[in-house]
Chain A
């Protein structure tokens, strides 16, 4: 096993092009947690991105917030503009692990780790974030909502790095993020949901209820069309169309489905005239 320490993005991309088997490492807060169980990881070599300074800063453009490939939760928590404009990023960031994890863990790592329970992904997806991938072959942009194709499967080739995450700046009149874990902090989400409404319409994104974090188009349709919803159970058919929760050690499919419906129902009750 070896760990390579590129000093620039160009060097990182070349190194990765030469050996696409290398595992990129940002904060390491996912990689190192899986380490003891996944012995196959011990044979791999690592591309430690921590020295690639240009990937760290985030910046505000006229019409978007651009996160770097190494931007951490804490970087955003410290940015007052994010509190004002894109508060769900803050809500999610503050729910991730503990402060120690928030200062190490990166948004890009959260996306590429591709856990169905990831907390950073739902809010980014509800804000229509776009993932920017770069390799020596060039640069491509993939909407986060189309990034995943299956459990831990995604539209990223092994030689590509996530170099940016672009979040449009829009005016939202609804922004909601809910996480239900087994305890109040340091808990893996058993069901979570992010909801936004802007000129672009409703976005409903759920986590821990499918092989990957995903939008819920059937629920979004109900909201767009103003379909009458008289109680949380009325949302269940749409939810069952959108997601496929399972029973696991943390929860049951029934819990996930029902609680997702209830979170949505109660959060939207005051906001949607069609809910009553």
Chain B
């Protein structure tokens, strides 16, 4: 492969449209005669639905319809189970999937009860207020531990309890390993929920065209093809009658792979009934209830170590909160279970989880998808172990890394894709060394205290320069360093496809079935194809997320777009290259081996005058006269598919320096380093962008973002005023370095990167903050995420008051 673009740090093809505001998002699609939907949602987390009276709403001028579960008739069906559980021995699993509109009962605040459709969103919202809902309150259970307690209110009565699943996966014999250990450490950990907070909320626009009997749906989904397939089947239409378009999307992060959300089911149906386009754009407040969330887990974990810091075994027993329904099966807890093992050699492992229904919004993957929790547990256990054994934190990791010749490494448990958890390739020590070098980590580094910055009163008036958070602080700041490692299973199957076509203009059209939510597909995929076809990267027009353009595929999730669709693009481009050379060799009467493909022209080596442009070749491949001979096809076009046997294992080391104001518990990240291995890198600029975004996401999860939900399932901070996302001032500049261990599982050697940045941040935060406070607040242990300034304050007070409560 001639490599001009692959691996190059080039700017993104899509940025001009995005940055100048010309990219089309769902709400930009304006169709004449569009009606607007608004939802009547439950105020209660748990209640019996006695009745809905829409009479007053229907009388409001401009209201075109109010629909309840009863109005849907046969169309009312619980959503599909998206991922059936992996075939784990002895598994218990109860699927209870979300419904389009609540029928007998509501199970979380914000669950839709009715949908109002009106001439404008204003009228629709006013009419929502007119609808009278008769709800009989039931005792709610919002806490995952309480949900599994004896006598808890049961959310799905037919199950008799709130247990959604139970599974055990083991490797070796943990108890035996424990018996021989020099040190056994156990702790309880919690990881709480947050929202995904995509900049663009969800939205759907459905248009039924009676004349052409065509349904078109614009949807912020990460999975347009499965949405198309599902809608066709639910509505009794041919797949060819349904077109789903996922245009530019302002962030997916996982919740947009969930399906079917009530709006996605209802709007197309309503559009067909009323013969008008219908639009719904989620508002930020709704997003806190109607879009899926993640990460609530409670762990009781234990590590067995030898005196030299080698892991003999790990035991982890946890409860996973799935919210009111569990449409995503066991992907999350299995990811946690598998990712916990990290880059380490863990000879004995016992992992058991229970999944509980709670009266809270539905839980499905968010960027990281259960992996954060696993990494947090393992890294915390290693930190505690290092502390206890008097070992350096980096050293204990180094001693336990899988060695470069251990691959493929079989962990003897099942991964979320049902395949055995086998790491394809990796080399972890160089990443650790590089991170140590970049962050300037000193083993057993002393705590340094630094006087605060200058008084802002003396500041000359230039913009903010970092002192704002703490004003004219004369207080000491304590500095700490953290360094953690992790792996990420990426790029799972089943498959994706791509079609590459050279057009008469000589330019290339590349179509794939995946949708795009900011990952840079318009550039990465173009780079892969441009190299094969000898064209410029801007000459490749990439089309994603439109089911009319490509029929087959699943979607963008699990850090798989570049790995799976990218390799399909590559395969299709290789096939087209072959066609080009074959055709050119016919026309130029030269052997294929003597041809070169550069700058959109096929040339004959050593004969400068003999050449043919790709456009000309494309025309000649689609003649107006003559027949397509048996065994050939018109055009310079090929469609290819790629499905990896199993996922590729990416890895990385994150390190950071924090400074903590011990008096206020405010934390500032001074420096952040990511050394990352996602196999061969298509475009370092895009990879870094993905990592930066991920780290920002992770910083939010680790320290700022917290859903304040009470025991009744009521949320108290459903707004960005009090649900704190990190801002530009809370996210430091990030230095990245790349290590490349190509994946043997795909021809390009790629591993995924979309989620990586977010995964280890909580573990890193915990370690760095503990390091900073090790003398000020001895014994302080971070066991709960999000840490939050308030929680950290309490931990500091506790540690200083009583030498810290020893672990559970």
Contacts and interface: CB of A to CB of B under 8 A. Distances in A.
Interface of A: 33, 36, 80, 83, 87-88, 90-91, 94-95, 175-188, 232, 249-252, 254-255, 258-259, 262-263, 266-267, 269-270
B722 A250 contact: yes
B771 to A, nearest CB: 21
A260 B60 CA distance: 53
B472 A183 contact: no
Contact of A95 (B468, B664, B666, B727): B468
27 contacts: A80-B461, A87-B457, A91-B457, A176-B472, A180-B470, A182-B788, A183-B726, A184-B468, A184-B469, A184-B668, A184-B727, A184-B729, A185-B464, A185-B468, A185-B469, A185-B727, A185-B728, A185-B729, A187-B724, A188-B721, A249-B722, A251-B790, A252-B790, A254-B797, A255-B790, A259-B793, A262-B663
Contact of B721 (A33, A178, A270): A33
Contacts of A179: 471
Nearest to A250: B722
A88 B666 CA distance: 22
B668 to A, nearest CB: 7
Contacts of A181: 469
Contacts of B729: 183-185
Given A182-B788, A183-B726, A188-B721, 4 more contacts: A94-B464, A179-B471, A184-B729, A186-B727
B461 A83 contact: yes
A178 B790 contact: no
B186 interface: no
Given A177-B471, A188-B721, A262 B664 contact: yes
A31 B787 CA distance: 33
A36 B461 CA distance: 36
Contact of B664 (A94, A180, A250): A180
B708 interface: yes
B250 interface: no
B172 interface: no
B645 interface: no
A269 B474 CA distance: 9
What are the nearest 7 A-B pairs in CB distance? A184-B469, A178-B471, A262-B663, A87-B457, A184-B729, A185-B729, A266-B475
Contacts of B285: 36
B11 interface: no
Interface in B457-500: 457, 461, 464, 468-475
A251 to B, nearest CB: 6
Contact of A183 (B708, B716, B727, B794): B727
A87 B464 CA distance: 15
A188 B721 CA distance: 8
Contacts of B790: 182, 251-252, 255
A175 B471 CA distance: 12
Interface residues of B, number: 35
Interface string B780-799: 00000000111001100100
A236 B468 CA distance: 26
B644 interface: no
A175 B285 CA distance: 41
A250 B722 CA distance: 7
B660 to A, nearest CB: 13
A87 B456 CA distance: 9
**Interface SS of chain B:** loop
B456 A91 contact: yes
Contacts of B470: 178, 180
A178 B468 contact: no
Contact of A175 (B457, B666, B704, B727): B457
B472 A94 contact: no
Nearest to B668: A184
A70 to B, nearest CB: 23
B717 interface: yes
Contacts of B239: none
B704 A182 contact: yes
A122 to B, nearest CB: 11
Contact of B724 (A83, A94, A182): A182
A182 B789 contact: yes
B130 interface: no
A263 B456 CA distance: 15
Interface string B168-184: 00000000000000000
Interface string B48-83: 000000000000000000000000000000000000
A124 B292 CA distance: 45
Contact of B663 (A33, A188, A259): A259
Contacts of A269: 474
A176 B471 CA distance: 8
Contacts of B392: none
Contacts of B664: 180, 259, 262-263
B578 interface: no
Contacts of B469: 181, 183-185
B43 interface: no
B275 interface: no
Contacts of A184: 468-469, 666, 668, 727, 729-730
A172 to B, nearest CB: 10
Contacts of A87: 456-457
A183 B730 contact: yes
Nearest to A98: B727
Given A187-B724, A266-B473, A270-B474, A249 B457 contact: no
Contacts of B788: 182
A116 B794 CA distance: 23
Nearest to A255: B793
B663 A266 contact: yes
A36 B720 CA distance: 13
Contacts of B717: 249
Contacts of A36: 285
A95 B475 CA distance: 19
B474 A266 contact: yes
B556 to A, nearest CB: 30
Given A262-B663, A269-B474, A249 B793 contact: no
Contacts of B468: 94-95, 184-185
Contacts of A262: 475, 663-664
A245 B272 CA distance: 57
Contact of B471 (A80, A91, A251, A259): A91
A180 B792 CA distance: 14
B58 to A, nearest CB: 22
A184 B668 CA distance: 9
Nearest to B708: A249
Contacts of A95: 468
A80 B472 CA distance: 20
Contacts of B457: 87-88, 91, 175
A30 B457 CA distance: 27
Contacts of A83: 461
Given A83-B461, A183-B729, A267 B721 contact: no
B499 to A, nearest CB: 45
A246 B446 CA distance: 38
B788 to A, nearest CB: 8
Contacts of B475: 262, 266
A262 B665 CA distance: 12
Contacts of B464: 94, 185
A22 B421 CA distance: 67
A179 B730 CA distance: 16
A216 B468 CA distance: 24
A262 B797 CA distance: 13
A249 B717 CA distance: 8
Contacts of A251: 790
B716 to A, nearest CB: 6
Contacts of A232: 663
B806 to A, nearest CB: 23
Taking each of B470, B471, B722, B797, which has the highest tally of chain A beta carbons within 10 Å of its own beta carbon? B471
Contacts of A258: 797
Nearest to B666: A180
A181 B726 CA distance: 12
